[in-house]
A and B are shown apart, each in its own frame.
Chain A
Amino acid sequence: MPNMSMTKVPMPQQDPNVRNKNFLEVATGYTAEMAMEEAARCLNCKNKPCVAGCPVNVRIPEFIAKVAEGKFEEAYEIITSTNGLPAVCGRVCPQENQCEGKCVRGIKGESVSIGRLERFCADYHNEHSTEKPSKPESNGKKVAVIGGGPAGLTCAGDLAKKGYEVTIFEAFHTAGGVLVYGIPEFRLPKAIVKKEIENLEAMGVEIKTNMVIGRVLSVDELFEMGYKAIFIGSGAGLPSFMGIPGEDLVGVYSANEYLTRTNLMKAYLDDYDTPIIESKSVAVVGGGNVAMDAARCAKRLGAENVYIVYRRGMEEMPARKEEIHHAMEEGIIFKNLNNPVKIIGDEQGRVKAIECVEMELGEPDDSGRRRPIVKEGSNFELPVDTVIMSIGTSPNPLIRSTTPGLDTNRKGCLIVNEDTMQTTREGVYAGGDAVTGAATVILAMGAGKQAAKSIDEFLSKQS
């Protein structure tokens, strides 16, 4: 008998007023009993809309059926047959717009909590299994993957499973991309990312860190070194700024810098050397997931007042509902329908306030969201000592400017055939933010997966 409860089994979490002072994970995860109870809510319906909603097509009803039976390892096997990073996806995917958004149970009541169940299976496996994946027999063909973020890791994993000899070239001192420098510890513990990467290495994937492709080696040199195909997953790139006065003041960060200092360089721990400003009041400008992460980090680093300044309304915010909800619980103050016009400094050139103007919403624009319009004369000052700009990125120029024949669009994103992920160069594939501009982890993974399939087809034809 299915469990006909209209609501999800609640996720145990740290109390908001405790967790906003530490970097431990917010949601602590289902117990086995909770997972089985939640799994019993799945109707195992015939047309499986959830699977179609998943960018990597996880066989959702099948794995949930195993969870309901208490066969957690078998459930894990089913997930990993199509998804190389379940512990990550279970935590950071926007399930409400994907699998869970299509769930039949969501029509009346809440959908099945697919994400929490996926996370449970991955965590269960990581806790109970010491077995490392084995290295498949090599087919002798070398593939280079540029960038060790979600797209690159997925592409590398899928190709390694098929016997390719894969090398990941990572620019940073550690692989993981946005999973390590961007998404904070309290949302995605770095030990989990490390474990997923170790699994890839056990499968024979070689990771070369400190290798900035486009500088130390070019794409053409990788071909000369014997790599038969190349996947570019180099990520989003340079942060954008608003172009308003005062962005040069001390105390103005891009979200990328603030998060990199905090997460990758561990500025929140005393025994790490990388400094970060000790803020009292922080304005984070932007309404996406990155803005939520930056705001929640600022709170945890000790800021008393943390504001989200966003020019549209709550409804229009691109961040996940769950992230917005968590941020509110933790005491982040939302200043929606406000837009910065100027950052004001003191005599020493440090931020002392941000001047904003109130907005109202007009007709929908190209993005389908209602266009914000300035309310003339509504300017006001918000006293802050730190401003974090979280308004998007533009693609990194390093690879496109050093690789002849690699076409980009007007914005500088790599152009690919959307079905195959092939770029305008034969044998060169790309995916993730380098192609789409800033998007989600799971979309990057989906692209990496598709590229791996295409690379396999391409190289299978050559012999």
Chain B
Amino acid sequence: MYKILKRRQLNENVVLMEIHAPFIAKKALAGQFIILRVDEHGERIPLTIADYDREKGTVTIIFQIVGQTTMLLSQLKEGDALLDFVGPLGKATDFEGAKKVCVIGGGVGCAIAYPSAKQMFNSGAEVDVIAGFRSKDIVILEDEFKAASTNLYITTDDGTYGEKGFVTNKLQSLIDAGNKYDLVVAIGPVPMMKFVCEVTRPYGIKTLVSLNPIMIDGTGMCGGCRVSVGGEIKFACVDGPDFDGHLVNFDELMKRNSTYKEKESHDKSHCRLYQGL
């Protein structure tokens, strides 16, 4: 069992948990993920590692409540434990010695963008962070990003906080202002990653994205997480989850991620959560 040492509600729908998993904490690197199972009847779901503490032996996960499993997970309290927690899975992000980087996070994707920003900032790179949210009330990790970036730009779709607009508008204006990035890291909803890649493509700026396909085992066995990259089948769990965004087929990813959407919304009526379990 893997004990929850800390639980923090970051906004109405986003929760942070620190999980005791010393073996994983010892090895974890930015860009890698874990797979967890809440209980015997639960699904295995992948979550990207948001942070880790090698001394304390903890791994931090940040998740948005989007479906049955994240709902179930969100009900757990400090001191409760998860049945299964396996990792660190996937390849660590390869920053390729980039000196000037723009890290872009969208919504809960900021949780995954944060360790990348932190790792590059701590290794001496100049790091601009653009963190985009729908609205002021769901802004997360502002202080953490401040401490891990040269410049932090927050955008909100409705203008209630930071600059009004999308992360792509901000990125475009930073590029227009003469910033020469040798790497852009974009993590967030699939459409956001797709449009960031369209902004950087004409400038030939290398753009890494972290993909979140449907996954079961996460170790290179089931093939559920296959994505098309440069016209080839790649498996996000062993070949990724980071890929060159200019080669990813985002439309296919969006389509495949919707496989169980109908079933999930249909099943809510007899979900275990609503039966008092």
Contact = CB atoms under 8 A, between A and B. Distances in A.
A238 B223 contact: yes
Interface string A153-183: 0000000000000000001110000000100
Contacts of B272: 271, 273
Contacts of B224: 253-254, 257
A348 to B, nearest CB: 8
B23 A216 contact: yes
Contacts of A272: 41
B69 A241 contact: no
B123 interface: no
A250 B41 contact: no
Contacts of B221: 181, 235-239, 256, 260, 396
Interface stretch (A27-35, A46-54, A119-127, A204-212): A204-212
Interface in B226-245: 226, 228, 233, 235, 238
B259 A212 contact: no
Contact of A212 (B219, B233, B258): B219
A213 B266 CA distance: 38
A215 B88 contact: yes
B222 A239 contact: yes
A134 interface: no
Contact of B258 (A172, A250, A261): A250
B8 interface: no
B57 interface: no
B85 interface: yes
B44 A216 contact: no
A248 B253 CA distance: 9
B183 interface: no
Interface in A392-432: 396-398
A254 B222 contact: yes
Contacts of B43: 265, 273-275
A398 B237 CA distance: 11
B216 interface: yes
Main secondary structure of the interface of B (DSSP, over half): mixed
Interface string A182-215: 0000000000000000000000000001111001
Interface string B78-106: 00000111111100000000000000000
A256 B223 contact: yes
B24 A396 contact: no
B151 to A, nearest CB: 34
B223 A250 contact: no
Contacts of A256: 221-223
A209 B267 CA distance: 30
A386 to B, nearest CB: 11
A248 B258 CA distance: 12
A251 B259 CA distance: 8
A6 interface: no
Instruction: Name the interface size band of chain A.
Output: 35 or more
A206 B89 CA distance: 23
Among B68, B83, B222, the one with the most A-chain Cβ atoms within 10 Å of its Cβ is: B222
Given A235-B221, A257-B222, A261-B216, A217 B263 contact: no
A161 B41 CA distance: 34
Contacts of B260: 275, 277
B266 to A, nearest CB: 10
Contacts of A251: 259
Interface in A233-274: 235-239, 241, 243, 247-251, 253-254, 256-257, 260-261, 265-266, 271-274
Interface of A: 171-173, 181, 209-212, 215-217, 235-239, 241, 243, 247-251, 253-254, 256-257, 260-261, 265-266, 271-275, 277-278, 348-349, 396-398
**Nearest 7 Cβ contacts at the A-B interface:** A254-B223, A239-B223, A210-B86, A257-B222, A349-B255, A173-B84, A275-B260
Given A215-B219, A216-B23, 18 more contacts: A181-B217, A209-B84, A215-B27, A216-B24, A216-B27, A216-B86, A216-B87, A236-B221, A237-B221, A238-B238, A241-B223, A254-B224, A257-B222, A260-B216, A261-B216, A265-B216, A273-B68, A275-B267
29 contacts: A173-B83, A210-B84, A210-B86, A212-B89, A212-B219, A216-B24, A216-B27, A216-B86, A216-B88, A235-B221, A237-B220, A238-B220, A238-B221, A239-B221, A247-B233, A250-B255, A250-B258, A253-B224, A257-B216, A265-B44, A272-B41, A273-B41, A273-B68, A273-B69, A273-B272, A274-B44, A396-B238, A397-B220, A398-B219
